[in-house]
Amino acid sequence: MFGFDEVIDRSNTNALSVEGYGEYLFGKKSCGQQCIDDGLIRMWIADMDFATPHFVLDAIKERLDRKILGYSMIFDQDYHEAFNSWLKKRCDWQVEPEYLQPSPGIVPALHDLVSLLTKEGDKILILTPSYGPFQKAVQESNRRLVCSDLIETDGNYTINYGQIEKIIEDQRVTMFIFCHPHNPTGRLWSEEELVELGKMLASKDIWIISDEIHCDLLRSGKTHLPFSKVLPGYSRIITCMSPSKTFNMAGMMLANIIIPDPKARALWQKKNGGLVNPLAIAGVKAAYSQGEDYLASLKSYLDGNFELLDAYLKANLPQVGFTIPEATYLAWLDLSFYLDGTKGDIGLELANQAGILVESGRMFVQNGDNHIRLNLAVPREVLAAGLQRLGSYFNKIAK
């Protein structure tokens, strides 16, 4: 019904996934002479190769029919209601309408929040491996990055509480940027984990920025618990959510930032005037009010893709470390058996030698060596072809 098997031509649509990989992944316009440019299989950046659902596109078309695309802000109460009713169903959570602030994206919001709520030289903690832009948001604002490596045991990642306790005791950290569910490992943090971490951070009045952009994209049967829910009454927590991953509409550039603290909100509003793309308002409202069936189908398709990957690896590359993640459409593969650090950039190597674009572990700040991240939000035939390429490459180098 939602056409996840359709292979859609994204050429000449200004898609970063198709035209921007050279710069983004390899710091240059193309990935080199030998790169198998034609027919590269793209499993890198976190957007999907599936169509944005028809009810979102229809709402945007309807808005276009109103003919004027002038300056717009979210005045429509239905927008807040659609968001809240989505949250209620997904995670039994509600936010006060005034807490909800629009942003052109979570990454721009992170940059703003770092500069509004901390001072130059302040220390900001993240968990590693980490989504790379967390590091940028800290360092580009002249704040100091402090990392706590997640502990990996047989493919399962957990938080090093002892280390975090020591870091926040000794180093006067003023902000913690958190990813829940976690990119790249796909961990969906449990209530116990959130409570333990939350207690520690709240005892030191540390600002918590909880990036929950992947919170809808769980394996079927799982439920997301917003970090804020385990810290009732703690106002130094800001939750970042967005329809961009769930409905494949990152290009519409509208994320929802939930800021309960009135002073922080005033600072935010002074910096961000609140102007929003009118097409995005229409599309996001439709996504949150009509997206139930679509999300159930999407999750089921992604579950199938993860099962395919798991079965392929077990049959063809049994030395790859992999566990189906609880969340996200991202697979985090441990290739330590195949890589000894001498291969240089495995991402570039796979582009050049195997014709597949992935993100190498080194893009995730630290604690990601010998890993790659694969985006599984692709039609199944594309996934199958990508796996063949990975299989023949790694089986060749293992000989």
Ligand X SMILES: Cc1ncc(COP(=O)(O)O)c(C=O)c1O
Q: Binding residues for ligand X, per CB under 6 A?
A: 46, 105-107, 131, 179, 183, 211, 213, 242, 244, 250, 255
User: What are the strands of the beta sheet with 123-128, ordered from one edge?
Assistant: 100-103, 255-258, 237-241, 207-211, 173-179, 123-128, 144-149
Residue 379 C-beta: closest distance to ligand X, Å: 20
Residues 6+ away with beta carbon under 8 Å from 22: 28, 29, 30, 31
Q: What's the closest the beta carbon of residue 206 comes to ligand X, in angstroms?
A: 19
**In this structure, which amino acid lies at residue 240?**
C
d(CA 267, CA 114): 12
Tokens, residue 119:
């001072």
Per-residue CA distances from 340 to 78, 245, 346 (Å): 54, 34, 11
Nearer to ligand X, 181 or 355 (CB): 181
Q: What is the DSSP letter of 100?
A: E
Q: Which ranges in the chain belong to alpha helices (H)?
A: 16-19, 21-26, 54-64, 77-91, 106-117, 132-139, 161-170, 191-202, 262-271, 278-290, 292-316, 346-349, 380-397
Residue 217: closest CA among 248, 185, 245: 245
- Measured in degrees and rounded to the nearest 5, phi and psi for residue 125 equal -100, 140
In the 8-state DSSP scheme, what is residue 63? H
Q: Which is nearer to ligand X, 256 or 305 (CB)?
A: 256
Residue 179 C-beta: closest distance to ligand X, Å: 5
Counted residue by residue, the chain has a size of 399
Would you say the C-alpha torsion 145, 237, 83, 185 has a positive or negative sign? Answer: positive
By DSSP bridging, strand 371-375 and strand 356-357 are: unpaired
Q: How far is the CB of 377 from ligand X (least distance, A)?
A: 11
Least distance (Å) between residue 366 CB and ligand X = 16
Residue 341 DSSP symbol: S
Sequence-separated (6 or more) residues with CB below 8 Å from residue 225: 91, 189, 190, 191, 194
* 135 three-class SS: helix
> What are 376's two structure tokens?
């599984």
> Rounded to the nearest whole angstrom, what is the least distance from the CB of residue 303 to ligand X in the complex?
20
The smaller minimum CB distance to ligand X, of residues 207 and 393, is found at: 207
Q: CB of 338: closest distance to ligand X in angstroms?
A: 26
**Closest CB to ligand X: residue number:** 105
Nearer to ligand X, 106 or 138 (CB): 106
CB of 105: closest distance to ligand X in angstroms? 3
Q: What is the Cα 322 distance to its own chain's centre?
A: 19
Q: Minimum distance between the CB of residue 395 and ligand X, rounded to whole angstroms?
A: 30
